Amino acid sequence: MTTSVEFTELTGTYRRELLAHCYRMLGSIDEAEDVVQETYLRAWRSYDGFEGRSSARTWLYRIATNACLTAIERRGRRPLPSGLGAPSTDPDVPLVAGPEVAWLQPYPDVLLGDLPDDPAAVAMSRAGIRLAFVAALQHLSARSRAVLILRDVLQWSAAEVAELLGTTPTAVHSALRRARADVARSTPAVDDVAEPGEAERRGLVERFAAAIESADASAVAELLRVDAVLEMPPLLTWFAGRDPVARFLGANLLLEPGGLRTVRTRANDQDALGVYSRGPDGVHRAHAVIVLTVSPAGITRMVAFQDPGLFPAFGLLSE
């Protein structure tokens, strides 16, 4: 067996979960893919020195985490609009763009995969991938982010995390407590994000998609929870409250039946819609990927990523 084949067999099965790990750290699927490529390049270059004192998974995670820490130092955090300012309750407020902001990106579920022969990889990929959690991670420092992910998502021991970060288990415990408190303040309570049963959830999303396509703002409003939120990166402006959200959508997006088309997809282990907008020539083109947070009381949050460049990662056509 050649060294190249041996390396591929040893490391290849971890690529998917490493991609999810780097996404949690960086908040960007584009950057995560670059860092995973860098991780494998570094691992290949140092493969001769890998003596198996740790597992291949641990070895690769160490390389990937350090590469992420360096990337965060260069670029900083990726927020959502709700992480940068207060919401508006006035649907007529002028919209403010934030072209200079490096925004958080959604994570296509197609990249999480479903590998029945490797359930550990599937579980490792899906854990801690929800959009609200990843957004909350962005408020932490790079090292605090790494501590929380390694300890609470990947279940590393304090000693293992301390070795990776060049610190002590006591310092890791302290950083973990602070990170947990910071994330708890930034994310909804578990009861608020509990999902309805599969059939109810699917039906709600299908009705929401139908209401968008028929430009029925009243039907959309009926499907929203009273405290529903709408965020639309790259816009800094965001809205909170069922009435302001529904009025904004009705006045700006739900203009005529057939003006928008939707395709069901999934992002961050949540329901999502690819939305296409009809242009003056009658052609529907990629407009936004909307990630939905669904509760038993209705849709509680919509994050509409207005970036047609995201569509290929979801396996969606641009028109």
CATH number at residue 291: 3.10.450.50
Instruction: Extract the tokens encoding 248.
Output: 């904004």
The total number of structural domains that make up the chain = 2
Same domain, 44 and 165: yes
The per-residue pLDDT for range 123-135, each reduced to its tens digit, is: 555 668 999 999 9
Same domain, 133 and 12: yes
Residues whose CB falls within 8 Å of the CB of residue 151, separated by 6 or more in sequence, listed in order: 158, 161, 172, 176
DSSP 51-72: -SSS-HHHHHHHHHHHHHHHHH
Same domain, 151 and 56: yes
Burial 239-253 (b: 16+ CB within 10 A, else e): bbbbebbbbbbbeeb
Task: Decide if 160 contacts 58 (C-beta within 8 A).
Answer: yes
CA 27, CA 24: separation in Å to the nearest integer? 6
Helix axes 3-11, 56-75, angle to 10 degrees: 80
In a domain? residue 301: yes
| Containing structural domain, residue 24 | 3-76+107-186
Residues of the chain with pLDDT under 70: 1, 51-53, 113-127, 188-194
Same domain, 150 and 228: no
Helical ranges in the chain per DSSP H: 3-11, 15-26, 29-45, 56-75, 119-126, 131-137, 142-148, 158-165, 169-186, 190-193, 198-213, 217-223, 242-252
Q: Tell me, what's the pLDDT at 85?
A: 92
Please choose, from the candidates 225, 217, 231, 159, the residue with its C-alpha nearest in 3D space to the C-alpha of residue 192.
Answer: 225
Quick check: helix, strand or coil at residue 285? strand
Q: Tell me, what's the pLDDT at 194?
A: 65
Q: Tell me, what's the pLDDT at 159?
A: 95
What is the DSSP-derived secondary structure letter of residue 270? E
CA dist 85 to 81, 227, 305, Å? 7, 17, 18
Q: Tell me, what's the pLDDT at 118?
A: 53
* Domain stops at, among 171, 186, 201: 186
The per-residue pLDDT for range 245-297, each reduced to its tens digit, is: 999 999 999 999 999 999 999 999 999 999 999 999 999 999 999 999 999 98
Please choose, from the candidates 296, 302, 287, the residue with its C-alpha nearest in 3D space to the C-alpha of residue 244.
Answer: 302
Same domain, 18 and 151: yes
Residue type, 166: G
DSSP 204-248: HHHHHHHHHHTT-HHHHHHHEEEEEEEE-TTBS--EESHHHHHHH
Sheet with 298-305, edge to edge strand ranges: 239-240, 224-231, 298-305, 284-295, 270-278, 260-267
* Domain stops at, among 135, 161, 186: 186
Q: Tell me, what's the pLDDT at 294?
A: 93
Instruction: Extract the tokens encoding 105.
Output: 């990106």
Same domain, 171 and 296: no
Instruction: Extract the tokens encoding 9.
Output: 């067999």
Q: Whose structure tokens read 């490797």? A: 118
CATH number at residue 13: 1.20.140.160
